[in-house]
Chain A
Amino acid sequence: MWNFIHDRRSEIAFNTYQHALLVFYAVVIATILAVVIAVVITRIRGLDVAANQVSAIALTIPSFALVGLLLPVVHLGPTIGLVAVAFYAVWPILRNAVVGLQGVDPILLESARGMGMSEATVLWRVRLPLAWPVILAGIRISTQMSMGIAAIASYALGPGLGTYIFTGLSKGGVAANGLNYTVVAIVGIVVVALIADGLLVLLGRLTVSKGIR
């Protein structure tokens, strides 16, 4: 095992980096989409119920099925990975963003308007900062989920550590390094997931407004 890793250390590092990068891009895209959608949803009455229904249904779609659905539309490997991972990452963030934005005390909004803030300023300076800890919790859930989905998505020639799992599978037996490939991929993904979660906690410490910490 040690020799296996040592011989391929740059390749493993590259695949790990690709895996992390794929998840990072997907979660960033998902966060932007989810927050924008949540802002719209919380303005229109009744839409939050519909959004919950849609996200419950969307999350039941098996990720391997989504790969099958996306292949005919997006032919390129890495793009499929990005689209598939971002698709799943949206829902937990959306749910939390809606809850977070709705949880802002109306009295605070009232006083913000009373201070002469425009709607956009209220959103940017009051509502989003107050909802941010809840949104961030959603981002953490999405990031964890994305790690495994990225591995499945890499079956469609996508990048990342998932490719090692499929290499391991095709090589099979213990003698032919199949086990090594698979173990490296699993451990690598768990480590990346742990580091990402740690970084998100750190991000929370740095970005959550002092008044509500």
Chain B
Amino acid sequence: MSRRGIVVELLVPVVLVVLILGGYVWWRETANLNPTELRQLDWATIRGEAWEHIKLTVVSSVLVVLIAVPLGVVLTRRGMTWLSPIAVGIANIGQSAPSIGLIVLFYIWLNVHPFWTGFRVTVLTLTLYGILPVLRNTITGLRGVDRTLVEAARGLGMSAPARLLRVELPLALPVIMAGVRTTLILVVGTATLATFIDGGGLGDTINSGIQLYQFSVMVAGAVLVVALALVVEWVGRVLELVIRPRGV
């Protein structure tokens, strides 16, 4: 993509988020709110929920990368390739299951044990749910690496781990990062469902708005979630550009 195209693509979300958040702050400070709205849209509450939402997203995404990338590496090693369609197939079926269903299912199953708080169950579900895009792209990316380059690295006397770390993974990185971005968007959106199992996050505001039938509260929650999702998507794009190794 052209330089100008990249600049526009990075600028549009920033402008949108500034407009959305600016609009929200302006409305929150000037509108004549009833006591319920004031309580639900208290700044400290919103800050806490936003922080929980970010924690859910970041913890799950890091776990996804830690699981899916090594798994993808293992599945593309010699003698293991026959396993990769099976693994991707399982991940595919897992993803066609509805996210809300999985969160509730794990909650009912695991919440009998005090370790499994709403937050942890949500992280578990989001991690399982987010694995597919990174796994699939890691496999695709590693497979797409030109075999002659790996052969050349071997000729230079590189060991198998060195070839993996210094040739194969750097070359596959753009494809892997595209998968990470997809996962980030999936995870930040699905984290809104944590509210149903007391996992926290900005879904709480939307849900209390629906429960109390306060349109302003549900719309405020939704708007804030959209802003956060745009920010996360933007971070994903920046990561994609920054992490890309030079020359690829």
Where the two chains meet, the residues of A that have a C-beta atom closer than 8 Å to any C-beta of B are 49, 53, 56-57, 59-69, 71-72, 144, 147-148, 151-152, 155-156, 162, 165-166, 168-169, 172-174, 178-179, 182-183, 185-186, 189-190, 193-194
A152 to B194, CA, bound (A): 12
0/1 interface trace, chain B 3-42, chain A, CB 8 Å (1 if under): 0010001001100100000000000000000000000000
| B76 contacts chain A at the CB level, 8 A cutoff | no
Q: Which residue of B lies closest to A185 (CB)?
A: B101
Residues 132 to 181 of chain B near chain A (Cβ within 8 Å): none
| B127 contacts chain A at the CB level, 8 A cutoff | no
B188 and A62 within 8 A (CB): yes
A182 and B188 within 8 A (CB): no
B108 and A165 within 8 A (CB): no
Partner of A144, one of B5, B96, B219, B226: B96
0/1 interface trace, chain B 224-248, chain A, CB 8 Å (1 if under): 0110011011000000000000000
A196 to B121, CA, bound (A): 30
Residues 203 to 234 of chain B near chain A (Cβ within 8 Å): 203, 206, 209-210, 215, 218-219, 221-223, 225-226, 229-230, 232-233
B104 and A165 within 8 A (CB): yes
B105 and A71 within 8 A (CB): no
A53 and B9 within 8 A (CB): yes
Identify 10 new A-B residue pairs, CB closer than 8 A, beyond the known A62-B226, A165-B104, A186-B102: A60-B233, A61-B189, A62-B189, A62-B191, A65-B221, A67-B222, A151-B98, A152-B100, A155-B100, A194-B96
Task: List A contacts of B5 (CB < 8 A).
Answer: 49
A71 and B210 within 8 A (CB): yes
Partner of A162, one of B98, B190, B203, B222: B98
Partner of A60, one of B105, B108, B112, B229: B229
Task: List A contacts of B9 (CB < 8 A).
Answer: 53
| B80 contacts chain A at the CB level, 8 A cutoff | no
Partner of B218, one of A56, A72, A148: A72
Q: With A57-B16, A71-B218 given, is the CB distance from A65 to B100 under 8 Å?
A: no
B108 and A174 within 8 A (CB): yes
Task: List B contacts of A66 (CB < 8 A).
Answer: 222
Partner of A182, one of B105, B193, B225: B105
A62 and B225 within 8 A (CB): yes
A174 to B185, CA, bound (A): 32
A105 to B220, CA, bound (A): 48
A190 and B209 within 8 A (CB): no
A151 to B99, CA, bound (A): 9
Task: List B contacts of A61 (CB < 8 A).
Answer: 189, 226, 229
B98 and A62 within 8 A (CB): no
Partner of B222, one of A65, A165, A166: A65
| B109 contacts chain A at the CB level, 8 A cutoff | yes
In this complex, which of B96, B112, B218, B226 has the most chain A Cβ atoms within 10 angstroms of its Cβ? Answer: B96
A57 and B102 within 8 A (CB): no
A180 to B42, CA, bound (A): 38
B97 and A186 within 8 A (CB): yes
Residues 81 to 113 of chain B near chain A (Cβ within 8 Å): 93, 96-102, 104-105, 107-109, 112
Q: Which residue of A lies closest to B217 (CB)?
A: A68
Q: With A168-B108, A169-B104 given, is the CB distance from A189 to B12 under 8 Å?
A: no
Partner of A69, one of B97, B189, B222: B222
In this complex, which of A57, A162, A182 has the most chain B Cβ atoms within 10 angstroms of its Cβ? Answer: A182
A179 and B109 within 8 A (CB): yes
